[in-house]
Chain A
Amino acid sequence: MASPLLRYQLFLSIGIVFLAIWKASLSSLDSIKSSHHIFESSTIIEPLVTYLPVWAILSLGVYALFSVLYRVATFGDCPKAADELGKQIIEAKGKLKAAGFAF
């Protein structure tokens, strides 16, 4: 490809690949079930595959939610910076007055 993909094109491509995988696994649901004895007796496989896009979106949402909550929980509060600034403002005002600045 001559030019790199635009961001939305990348997302679109991933979406198309995902849909292709989903369609393929839907049509071969029976062969998936019979591929391994665990899958045969499992009741999860069919709803999992049938609603794969929903699970994918939900997982994404959960990941997003937890990422943001984690960020907020570990957010750097720095009240000291505000105090330091207050002190430096007073110092700076003194220097400016000394240099002839009229407030």
Chain B
Amino acid sequence: SSSSSSSSSSIGSGSDNSTITTNINKMLYSIILPTYNERDNLPLITQFIHDTFTQSALTYEIIVVDDSSPDNTLEVAKSLQKIFTEKRFVIVSRPGKLGLGSAYSAGLKASSGDRVILMDADLSHHPKFIPQMISVMDKDDKNNKSKKVDIVSGTRYRPAGGVAGWDTFRKLTSCGANFLATFLLSTGGASDLTGSFRLYERAALEEILPRVQSKGYAFQMEILVRAHKAGLKIGEVPITFVDRIYGESKLGANEIVMYLKGLLTLFLTT
């Protein structure tokens, strides 16, 4: 991949300080992809990420955290590593399904980026929104220079955002769950609490991730709640979410109960 160029036109806050923009361009972005049975999607998401970052003259590294996928995603990851180089494509192989939280932690440990992106590897999230997230993070807050954005959350629920592939029932449960959470919890105005496509300053993620206990959909919610409680600033970018083109993502009674339990726990402990 190309090293940072002196051109600063693709991203940036419009600041006149060329040193700041060059530093931003030199920043390494770590993208952590937990995988379980993603042998079909992993090559595609990798190519998408590579294209997005190359077009924006930004530097990336992908950290795949594979939980011994039975479909041999690991083998696919190794072939991709040969193509995209070990520097840009890091593999963390784990002995079994150990949970999303620990996958993120393992990925974080294996990463060297100044900023970290957490996203899904199943093509429901598109990397094309990452440069927009970076702009929001770098935007100069003219009123209050000290309050820089620490986390940029991709939201499906603002205008310009949305979902492809949800029926009315799914929309009802999602909007209902989101309303309940924003009512019961203190989330600093975030509109999509269960979304899993976010850009983090490394320090922010290192601070918050170890504190998160919930499982399932409540996990992503807990990150934002704890971040807000810790005084971190959360920005938003509308994103489009294409729900699993090979079948809608799971939302059964189990997931709902787990979510409500997580919501109740946060209500009582934050």
Contacts and interface: CB of A to CB of B under 8 A. Distances in A.
A92 B163 contact: no
Nearest to B161: A76
Contacts of B178: 71
A68 B43 contact: no
Contact of A6 (B82, B176, B245, B268): B268
A71 B83 contact: no
Given A75-B171, A76-B156, A102-B79, A85 B245 contact: yes
A37 interface: no
A77 B44 contact: no
B48 A71 contact: no
Contacts of B51: 92, 95
B83 A82 contact: no
B50 to A, nearest CB: 9
Interface of A: 6-8, 64, 67-68, 71-72, 75-82, 85-86, 88-89, 92-93, 95-96, 99-103
B183 A77 contact: no
Could you say which of A64, A75, A93, A101 has the most chain B C-beta atoms within 10 Å of its C-beta? A75
A71 B179 contact: yes
B235 to A, nearest CB: 19
A67 B268 CA distance: 24
Contacts of B44: 89, 92-93, 96
Contacts of B185: 7
Q: How large is the interface on B (under 10, 10 to 19, 20 to 34, 35 or more residues)?
A: 35 or more
16 contacts: A71-B157, A72-B172, A72-B175, A75-B162, A76-B156, A76-B159, A78-B163, A78-B164, A79-B164, A81-B241, A85-B123, A96-B44, A96-B47, A96-B83, A99-B83, A101-B43
Contacts of B80: 101
A77 B163 contact: yes
B3 interface: no
Contacts of A96: 43-44, 47, 83
B267 A76 contact: no
Nearest to B268: A8
B269 A6 contact: yes
B79 A101 contact: yes
A102 B82 CA distance: 12
A32 B138 CA distance: 57
Nearest to A92: B47
A77 B179 contact: no
